[in-house]
Amino acid sequence: MATPLFKGLTRPVSLMGLPMTYVIVLMLVVVGGFIASLSLIYFFCSAIFGYVALRLLAAYDPRIFDVMFIVLRATPLTSSWFKGKGVTYGA
């Protein structure tokens, strides 16, 4: 399990040290916030701070966003959550 081939085949695909899911989240936040604010200061600050924060999170767990997306897909929110009543499941 410690061979380079096994490690290479089981690691997530990354770009600039971030897994692709992290890159997509970073680009959504940075570009979406830039379009909303039209501020270059926001663009550069959020890109730098977001990259550093996500790089630290990726060092801790590179697949945490994948797990969150799969959990939300497998157990969707109930209609009561959208009505402001919280997450309630009836028996």
C-beta separation of 2 from 9 below 8 A: no
The pLDDT assigned to 26 comes to 95
Chain centroid to Cα 22, Å, comes to 5
pLDDT (average), residues 32-48 = 96
Give the model's confidence band at 81: pLDDT under 50 very low, under 70 low, under 90 confident, else very high: confident
Cβ pair 43, 30 in contact under 8 A: yes
| Token pair of 62 as six digits | 């590179």
Q: What confidence score (pLDDT) does residue 43 get?
A: 96
